Amino acid sequence: MHTPPHTRGDQAEQIVTGLRADILSGALPPNAPLGQQEIAARFAVSRIPVREALRRLEHDGLVSIVPNTSARVTPLRIADLIELSEMRIAAETLALRRAVPNLSDAHIDEAEAIQTRLEAAPPAEFAQLNADFHRQLYMPAARPRLLAHIDALGLLAERYLRRTVEKLDYAGTSHAEHHAILGACRARDADHAVSLLTYHIDTAVSTLSTALIEEGQIAT
């Protein structure tokens, strides 16, 4: 029986959501094979929405597809981590610089409330709350395309961030840096806030890359 296109789209979205969660959590580790037959059986669908889902995950940078072979979870690479950090610094500092003049006390209070929840959250919730914290400070920039770009970069960076939090004693450092950024925002000091944000991203990258290279868990 022919599956209507809208149904295939719904099925593909379900597959994307499930596989993305498994990749970001590490349940599907780097280089894990993603066989279409196995995925179709898991989600009780045909291979058509599976192929669509894998293409979407490839576009997101989470899956690598080689023609005529099984897809695989994209490996973690130092080069990718560094490139992501460079792109994040460029985009996020621009957003913060544009946002600071428009930040209200209510914006900053909400970011601080998110930070409070972040400090009490389990590691599995760290990445999402961390993204929420930063987005709250960037929203007054009123640059929707820039914010969408930041969200996309954040998705790619999430696998690395999760490992930073889970493997290393990094959360306390991140919390302290967040409070410093909040202080600069309350002072409406855009230059200082941008400097602190740049340091914040750089520190996470250097901490994780050093640790994973030492453990032999990441490619250069």
Burial code (b: 16+ CB inside 10 Å, e: under 16) for 125-152 equals: ebbebbbebbbbbbbbbebeebbebbee
pLDDT at 218 over 80: no
Residue 7 pLDDT > 80, yes or no? no
- Of the pLDDT bands very low, low, confident and very high (cuts 50, 70, 90), residue 3 is low
CA distance 33 to 70: 6
DSSP lists the bridge partners of residue 77 as 219
Question: pLDDT confidence of 58, banded at 50, 70, 90?
Answer: very high
pLDDT in tens, 146-173: 999 999 898 888 888 777 766 667 788 8
Per this entry, what is the length of the chain? 220
**Domains of the chain, start order:** 5-73 (1.10.10.10), 78-215 (1.20.120.530)
User: How much is the average pLDDT of 27-52?
Assistant: 92
Mean pLDDT of the chain: 89
Give pLDDT, residue 1.
43
Instruction: Give the 3-state secondary structure of the chain.
Output: CCCCHHHHHHHHHHHHHHHHHHHHHCCCCCCCEECHHHHHHHHCCCHHHHHHHHHHHHHCCCEECCCCCCEEECCCEHHHHHHHHHHHHHHHHHHHHHHHHHCCHHHHHHHHHHHHHHHHCCHHHHHHHHHHHHHHHHHHHCCHHHHHHHHHHHHHHHHHHHHHHHHCCCHHHHHHHHHHHHHHHHCCCHHHHHHHHHHHHHHHHHHHHHHHHHHCCCEC
Instruction: Summarize the confidence of residues 31-39 as an average pLDDT.
Output: 92
Average pLDDT over residues 18-43: 91
pLDDT digits (tens, 9 = 90+) for 106-147: 999 999 999 999 999 988 888 889 999 999 999 999 999 999
The answer to whether 151 and 174 have CB atoms below 8 angstroms apart is: no
